[in-house]
Amino acid sequence: SAEVIGASNLSGVRHVVLVLSGKGGVGKSTVAAQLALSLRHAGKKVGILDVDLCGPSIPRMFKAQDSDVHQCDSGWVPVFVDQEKSISLMSIGFLLEKPDDAVVWRGPKKNALIKQFVADVAWGELDFLIVDTPPGTSDEHISTVEALRPYRPLGAILVTTPQAVAVGDVRREVTFCKKTGLRVLGIVENMSGFVCPHCSECTNIFSKGGGEELAKYAGVPFLGSVPLDPQLSQSLEEGRDFIREFPKSSAFPALAHIAQQVLDGASQRSS
């Protein structure tokens, strides 16, 4: 049955991390991609599963939007983005006829697709599977969590920006995680300053510290703040070699620190 195939497809995955955000535009997919690259930098084998039905952006970030997805006996074969095959991707975007097709479906069909999608990717051996989810806490998230539950997901990282509005959204995320029994690994405050491309000085455009305050309030770890690096954003927009440019960016030290905490949490879970 599909359930059995799904179990075997995820049996080689050691840890699953869901990346959640209460609203769109907080850079959740960018954080998911950067976290994957940071874990790969630490010598780990990483997969990214993009379950954002309305705006799958992971393929474009990795210049993989024209890739064809093939099937094997146990399901879809993920797309490798580097020679070493240390990062693999699977996105709903690969399955759409045209990349610009919006997925306009009612809930039950979406939920069935997500469950099948989570179960049907032949990941092989992975240290981490990063799951990029749509914004919000909808049915689709519940379907994703339920589909992954048999494989004991490691937990969730919540992405916010420094403004208080986004902070309100994260409160709902924390509640969602409690209700669905998903462990919150911590909160990442994204875009928490603007790095000048000329002098590399970091300026706070928004109020600072919303993420940290929220983490205290919710009683969950604060994983760190990631500055907005315009050069890295441009690299993403233009489809340049984000994988090579990322380690040189000012966001890298912050992400490396966040990845290290995820690794520490993972080794505590395994021991």
Residues tagged in the binding site annotation:
22-29, 196, 199
Q: Give me the residue label for tokens 């490691």.
A: 154
Contacting residues for 183 by C-beta, under 8 A, at least 6 apart = 154, 155, 156, 177
Give dist(CA 249, CA 252) in Å, integer. 5
Contacting residues for 16 by C-beta, under 8 A, at least 6 apart = 10, 128, 129, 131, 148, 151, 152, 153, 154
The binding site for [4Fe-4S] cluster comprises 196, 199
Give dist(CA 85, CA 99) in Å, integer. 24
The binding site for ATP comprises 22-29
User: What DSSP assignment string belongs to 26-57?
Assistant: S-HHHHHHHHHHHHHHTT--EEEEE--SS---
Give dist(CA 221, CA 65) in Å, integer. 35
**CA Rg value for the chain:** 18
3-state secondary structure 50-83: ECCCCCCCHHHHCCCCCCCCEEECCEEECEECCC
Give dist(CA 137, CA 142) in Å, integer. 8
